Chain A
Amino acid sequence: MLSAYYYQLLVIACINAIMAVSLNLVTGCAGQLSLGHAAFMGIGAYTAAILTSSYNVSFVFALIAGSVSAAFFGLIVGLPTLRLKGDYLAIATLGFGEIIRVSVLNMGITGGAFGLRGIPKETNLAVAVSAAILICLASKRLTKSRFGRALAAIREDEVAAEAMGVDTTRYKVLAFVIAASWAGVAGGLFAHWFRYLNPSSFSFMKSIEILSMVVLGGIGSLEGSVLGAFVLTFAPEFLRGVSDFVSQYRMLFYGALLVIMMLVRPQGLVGREVSVKRSYMPKLCKSPKKEAGVTLDTKGSTGGRTVRRRTTKGEGDQHANA
Chain B
Amino acid sequence: MPMLEIIKATKSFGGVTAVREVDLEINSGEIKGLIGPNGAGKTTLFNMVTGMCRPSSGQVLFNGKDLTALKPHEITEKGMARTFQNIKIFGHMTLLENVMIGRHFRMRGGALSALVGSSYAKQQEQENRERCARLLDFVGLDADPDSSASSLSYGQQRRLEIARAMATEPELLLLDEPAAGMNPQETKDLINLILRIRDAGITIFLIEHDMRVVMGTADSVAVLDNGAKIAEGAPNEVQQDARVIKAYLGDDSEISNPVPGQRSGGCSVSGPVLSLRSVETRYGSIRALKGISMDIASGEIVALIGANGAGKTTALKTISGLLPLSQGDISFEGQSIAHVPPDAIVKMGISHVPEGRKVFPQMSVMENLELGAFIRPGGRLGKQGIREDLDWVFSLFPRLEGRKKQLASTLSGGEQQMLAIGRALMSRPRLLLLDEPSMGLAPLVVKDIFSIVRDLNRNGTTILLVEQNANLALNTASRAYVMETGNVVCCGSSADLLQNGKLREAYLGE
Contact = CB atoms under 8 A, between A and B. Distances in A.
A140 B159 CA distance: 31
B101 interface: yes
Contact of A319 (B13, B100, B286): B13
B105 interface: yes
Interface string B68-83: 0001110011000110
A107 interface: no
Interface in A245-289: 272, 274, 284-289
A150 B104 contact: yes
B18 A165 contact: no
A316 B171 CA distance: 32
Given A164-B76, A322-B416, A289 B86 contact: yes
A142 B111 contact: yes
B43 interface: yes
Contacts of B47: 293, 296-297
B357 interface: yes
B13 A163 contact: no
Given A162-B71, A321-B361, A285 B284 contact: yes
Contact of B110 (A174, A317, A320): A174
A136 interface: no
A318 interface: yes
B41 A148 contact: no
Contact of B413 (A144, A157, A322): A322
Given A153-B93, A298-B86, A164 B13 contact: no
B84 A297 contact: yes
Contacts of A284: 283, 323
A142 B101 contact: no
A159 B361 CA distance: 26
A291 B165 contact: no
A205 interface: no
Contacts of A161: 90, 101
Contact of B42 (A166, A168, A291): A291
Nearest to B36: A291
Interface in A282-322: 284-298, 300-301, 315, 317-322
A220 B44 CA distance: 34
Given A291-B42, A292-B44, A294-B86, A149 B101 contact: yes
A174 B113 CA distance: 14
Interface in B264-278: none
A142 B111 CA distance: 6
Contact of A289 (B44, B110, B308): B308
A301 B413 CA distance: 26
Interface in B318-377: 323, 355-359, 361
Contact of B356 (A163, A167, A319): A319
B22 interface: no
B357 A322 contact: yes
B165 A164 contact: yes
Contacts of A167: 71, 73
A141 B116 CA distance: 8
Contacts of A7: none
B109 A145 contact: yes
A165 B166 CA distance: 12
Interface string B39-55: 11111111100101100
Contact of A160 (B43, B84, B115): B84
Given A288-B314, A318-B409, A163 B90 contact: no
Contacts, number: 192
A282 to B, nearest CB: 9
B101 A164 contact: yes
Contacts of A164: 73, 76, 81, 101-102, 104, 164-165, 167-168
Contacts of A145: 109, 111, 113-114, 121, 125
Nearest to B113: A145
B89 A160 contact: yes
Which of B76, B111, B361 has most A Cβ within 10 Å? B111
A116 B18 CA distance: 60
Contacts of A166: 73, 101, 104-105
Interface in B406-437: 409-410, 413, 416
A322 B73 contact: no
A223 interface: no
A318 B359 contact: yes
B109 A296 contact: no
A315 B356 contact: yes
Given A157-B90, A160-B88, A318-B359, A292 B104 contact: no
A191 interface: no
Nearest to B122: A145
B267 to A, nearest CB: 26
A297 B85 contact: yes
Interface in B168-224: 168, 180
A318 B308 contact: no
Contacts of B39: 291-292
A38 B361 CA distance: 38
B107 interface: yes
A296 B85 contact: no
Interface in A149-201: 149-150, 152-153, 156-157, 159-168, 174, 178
A322 B412 CA distance: 7
Contact of A159 (B52, B97, B180, B413): B52
A148 B114 CA distance: 9
Contact of B44 (A150, A165, A293, A300): A293
A296 B440 CA distance: 18
A61 interface: no
B71 A287 contact: no
A4 interface: no
Contacts of B102: 164-165
A147 interface: yes
B85 A289 contact: yes
A289 B114 contact: no
A219 to B, nearest CB: 11
A163 B104 CA distance: 11
A290 to B, nearest CB: 5
A153 B18 contact: no
Contact of B355 (A152, A153, A290): A290
A152 B93 contact: yes
A286 B283 CA distance: 9
B501 interface: no
Given A156-B91, A297-B85, A318-B356, 4 more contacts: A157-B88, A163-B52, A163-B81, A315-B358
26 contacts: A138-B115, A141-B115, A145-B113, A147-B109, A147-B110, A147-B114, A148-B114, A150-B101, A152-B93, A156-B89, A157-B90, A159-B84, A163-B76, A163-B82, A164-B102, A165-B73, A168-B73, A284-B283, A288-B313, A288-B314, A289-B86, A291-B41, A291-B44, A318-B356, A320-B14, A322-B356
Report, nearest first, the 4 A-B pairs whose CB atoms are least far apart.
A293-B44, A145-B114, A293-B43, A285-B283
